[in-house]
A and B are shown apart, each in its own frame.
Chain A
Amino acid sequence: MQRKPLLGTIAVLSAFLPGIIATSSPSFADETIKPAVVYSTGGKFDGAFNQSAFTGAEKFKTDTGIDYREFELRNDTQSQQAIRTFARDGHDPVVVIGFQQASALAEVAPEFPETRFAIVDMVVDQPNVQSVVFREHEGSFIVGMLAAMASNSNTIGAVGGMDIPLIRRMTCGYQLGAHYVKSDANVLVNFVGTTGAAWNDPIRGGELTKTQIGKGADVVLQLAGGTGIGVLQAASDAKILGIGSDANQNGLHPGQVLTSMVKHVDVAVYEAFKAARYGNWQPGIKSLGLAEGGIDWALDENNRDLMTDDMEVAAKKAKADIIRGKITIHDYMIDNTCPN
């Protein structure tokens, strides 16, 4: 499934940029590469999104012995300088993490036509950029089902980080999944903020969780990057269940995290590095979902006891049905609405 570029403006704007490359996409087959990663604000130890990217880079290092360089943004204005510095120093491929860096990459990529770039979570339409996007709504659908089945109060919650379509798409999938198994399930949704700060505010995340718990929620999903640590903490403090996202967060509070909606940013980073290493790197859009193994739900020794047979069977069946196309999940980002 090929999705339309999300940010048409980027494509249009890039037409204005100087030095449009007329040559075909760069091809390499080198033995030694100098990979680099630029993490988004929140940093590589956010326990979620960026950390997953870090895991992938580390795995590549272990597997191949090739070291990589990395930079953590303090604020989004540093993005251009970071990407440009890596490219100028001859790093290749340069993987940038997070949609916030899209406009910076769109700016820098044409300046270094020989460098291979990859971006996670956003589309940048350039001949030397690989854009990795995830169909997160497929995963949140399944954890929504599990949440509704695990809930005794029939009320479940989700705390989103930044209020943007990307996160609304996940809350929408969550809601649809919950209603798929229990049509009367009550789903509470809150967002932390409208700026990048919303990814890094565990205290506010915890506050919202406490309110949702007060309103009766006994399972709460975090979709908030570093903020989510506070969500899972508040859930654990109140002895209810949390659901992790991005990375497998089941082990943060064993027995208190029902499952995690895993988004394999690690695989995206690893694959981008590996493809560059073996010379089969491709520009363009890579859409990853359940079928490609880019999205999944986590079951391990930390949550095994929380998962009943019914739940496991239902989740596995739904996963198979989504892959086969028997269940189609509405994508919020197509029309910016969520059917109830």
Chain B
Amino acid sequence: MSNVVQLPRWIDVGLLPILNLVLALAVSGLVVLAIGENPIEVVEVLLYGAFGYDEAWGYTLYYTTNFVFTGLAFAVAFQCGLFNIGAEGQAYIGGLGVALSALYLDFLPFPVMLIVSAIAAAAFGAGWAYIPAYLQARRGSHIVITTIMFNFIASSVMVYLLVNVLRPEGSMSPESARIAEHLTLPNIVSLASWFGIEAANSPLNLSFVYAIIASVLVWLLIWHTRWGYSIRTAGANSVAATYAGIEPGRHIIMAMMISGALASFVALNEVMGAQQRLLIDFTAGYGFVGIAVALMGRNHPFGIFLASLLFGMLYQGGAELGFEIPTISNDMVVVIQGLVILFTGAMGNMLRPGVGGIYQKLYVAWINRRNSRESA
């Protein structure tokens, strides 16, 4: 008797997320109006800042790189039913791994350093994620709270180390020494020159390629391996998983460690690529953007990549806002970020009954018309 129509996939993973995004952007537009600026003008500045000149592309993709990593980090944990709010801290500690290897193993040749630094970042990030993961898996400590706590602990540890240990003699800024030029990740200018192309200068570097590789690997891992299947099962229903012979604890730890390792690759982009030294707070909230990106991208690498691109654009365009419209700072981007998380994450199902209802009406109308045509 039930005439509820199952929503087709294109509505579920396509239309609804887009409508939610539109809603978030519409509310952002209202915020702009409320503070007395013209939303159209803001969009123009954003787009100009993100794509309007040669370097802008590079900056947009450089931000995108960070968001791909933190988005994937959130998604992998989420597939296992875990909220990893700790990407910020894991990336920060990952930076320590990168800086230590690049500063103290500087005798290594560059190709070796490429591998060593990535392993160091992953090991530090995964290690930092391991503790909350272990506590969740073995002692039942709520991972949301522990990862938040671990962000703050990471911040304290890093301040201590940067101020007291890593700061070079005679420097006042709490930052590490500069990484030797030949050990830094090649940026877009030198990468392009290998192919004889001249590129505009920007912090975009080799780690963008890593981000693409990581996306593909995560996609393979989660959707095309037995292990991926079992973490998704464990995430969906830990009781069922246990009956199926899957031990949730081990999967929680593995998923979190992969998540931490992915987050830590932000450090490759920042510490080894863009800044070429370890700075205080170099993670600058990228870990939290990862939540927005993953939710928007429905925790799928392809979606995450598109969402990261959108946020990369917003971040770079937002920086331009700070220069062009004095009354609107790049805090506007933070507002948009919050609204996107609210509408696509927390209230993601708000439009479902409405959209479902419309779809159902159209569907029923279509069936009726077909039936009447057939009977005619």
Residues on B with C-beta less than 8 A from A17 are: 181
CB-contacts of A1-54 with B (<8 A) = 6-9, 13, 16-18
Chain B residues positioned under 8 Å from A165 (CB to CB): 172
B76 at the interface (CB under 8 A from A): no
Residue of B nearest to A89 (CB): B323
- Of the listed stretches B129-137, B276-284, B345-353, B368-376, name the one at the interface; the rest are far from the partner chain: B276-284
Interface centre among B168, B174, B330 (most CB of A within 10 A): B174
Q: Are B177 and A71 in contact (CB under 8 A)?
A: no
B171 and A9 within 8 A (CB): yes
Inter-chain contact B281/A16, CB cutoff 8 Å: no
**Complex interface bits, B167-187 against A, C-beta within 8 A gives 1, otherwise 0:** 011111111011011000000
- Residue pair A111, B201 in contact (C-beta under 8 Å): yes
- Using Cβ atoms and an 8 Å threshold, which residues of chain A touch B319? 78, 81, 85
A77 and B159 in contact (CB under 8 A), knowing A9-B170, A13-B178, A103-B173?
A: no
Total A-B Cβ pairs within 8 A: 72
Check A120 for interface membership: any CB of B closer than 8 A: no
Q: Is A69 an interface residue (CB 8 A)?
A: yes
A165 CA / B170 CA spacing, docked (Å): 9
Q: Judging by beta carbons under 8 Å apart, are B178 and A194 in contact?
A: no
Number of interface residues of B (CB under 8 A): 32
Whether A195 lies near B163 (C-beta < 8 A) is yes
- Knowing A76-B279, A111-B201 are in contact, say whether A6-B170 is a contact too (CB < 8 A): yes
Which residues, 73 to 121 on A, are CB-close (under 8 Å) to B?
A: 74-78, 80-81, 84-85, 88, 99-100, 102-103, 111
Interchain CB contact under 8 A, B172 and A75: no
Is A196 an interface position by the 8 A CB rule? yes
A6–B270 alpha-carbon span in the complex (Å): 26
Partner of A194, one of B174, B322, B330: B174
B146 near A: Cβ within 8 Å? no
Return chain B residues, CB-CB under 8 Å to A265: none
Q: What are 19 A-B pairs at a CB distance below 8 A?
A: A6-B172, A9-B168, A9-B178, A13-B178, A18-B181, A69-B323, A72-B329, A74-B329, A76-B173, A77-B270, A77-B279, A77-B282, A81-B319, A88-B55, A111-B201, A194-B174, A195-B159, A195-B280, A196-B280
Chain A residues engaging chain B, CB cutoff 8 angstroms? 6-9, 13, 16-18, 69, 71-72, 74-78, 80-81, 84-85, 88, 99-100, 102-103, 111, 122, 162, 164-166, 194-196
Given contacts A76-B281, A81-B59, A165-B172, 20 further A-B pairs with CB under 8 A are A6-B172, A8-B170, A9-B168, A9-B169, A9-B177, A69-B323, A72-B322, A74-B329, A75-B281, A75-B284, A76-B173, A76-B280, A77-B279, A80-B274, A100-B173, A122-B172, A194-B159, A194-B163, A195-B281, A196-B280
